[in-house]
A = this chain, B = another copy of it.
Amino acid sequence: AMPDGNAEAGQTKAFSCQFCHGTNGVAVKDGYPHMNGQNALYLYKAMKAYQNDERLGDYGKMMKQQLSALNDQDLADIAEYYAKQP
């Protein structure tokens, strides 16, 4: 199950996400998902899917690499942060 996420901690941990997803979750490029206001549990499950090889293809590989150093608490914090962005 998803740990309790902390949005403040998530903002710091989401540093490398901003280059595609924006600092506020509004994607910087066509074709990338917006994450602001998204459901936090969904975001967490999507990131776990990348870690668990359930999302394949080029973006799957890239995202798995991006998330490789993050633990479940990190993912929950990041998910909470983006979910809380307007």
Contact of A38 among B33, B49, B57 (CB under 8 A): B33
A39 touches B54 (CB 8 A): no
Complex interface bits, A53-70 against B, C-beta within 8 A gives 1, otherwise 0: 111110110000000000
* Copies of this subunit: 2
A41 touches B30 (CB 8 A): yes
- Tally of A interface residues using CB under 8 Å: 22
Give the distance to chain B from A26, nearest Cβ to Cβ, in Å.
9
Tell me the A25-45 residues at the B interface (CB within 8 Å): 27, 30-34, 37-39, 41-42, 45
> Can you give 26 contacting A-B residue pairs, CB < 8 Å?
A27-B39, A27-B42, A31-B39, A31-B41, A31-B45, A32-B39, A32-B42, A33-B38, A33-B39, A33-B42, A33-B46, A34-B38, A34-B39, A34-B42, A37-B37, A45-B59, A49-B55, A49-B56, A49-B57, A53-B56, A54-B55, A54-B57, A54-B60, A55-B55, A55-B56, A56-B56
